[in-house]
Amino acid sequence: MGGVGALLRPVAWKLNQRRDISSWLAKWFPKAPAKSVVALKTPIKVELVAGKTYRWCVCGRSKKQPFCDGSHFFQRTGLSPLKFKAQETRTVALCTCKATQKPPYCDGTHRSERVQKTEVGSPL
């Protein structure tokens, strides 16, 4: 028989296995999310349909701006899209600089010197 050491080996192996899994998860779900990047320096006007749910891109990496295409997940940003439901059918300007104080709607922040000096694809 292996004694007490043999009984402890499976427990130690399980602890190491958990550590490997958590380090794998850390790659996909970082504790500190990445910063949003400036997708464009002007808002995009879209017609929202009453009752429809939309997913606004928060990370700035989507190729379907201003909406999410899942890039945040594949680029491991730790960010998630902002889900919102249109209350009425109307045309609105959705932010693409990702610096608005009224997400997902444009509040004119893209006109600021800070945003205008930032390169598209770079964080603020």
Q: Give residue 20's pLDDT band: very low, low, confident or very high (50, 70, 90).
A: low
State mean pLDDT over 11-17.
50
Q: Name the pTM for this structure.
A: 0.74
Has residue 33 got a pLDDT over 90?
no
> 67: part of which helix (H) or strand (E)?
none
Measuring CA to CA, how many Å separate 9 from each of 6, 23, 26, 99?
5, 21, 26, 52
Q: Which whole-number Å values give the CA distances from 12 to 5, 6, 8, 17, 84, in the listed order?
A: 10, 10, 6, 9, 46
- The predicted pLDDT at position 6 comes to 54
Residue 109 has pLDDT above 70, yes or no: yes
Q: pLDDT tens digits, residue range 47-85?
A: 999 999 999 999 999 999 999 999 988 788 889 999 999
The confidence band for 10, taking pLDDT boundaries of 50, 70 and 90, is: low
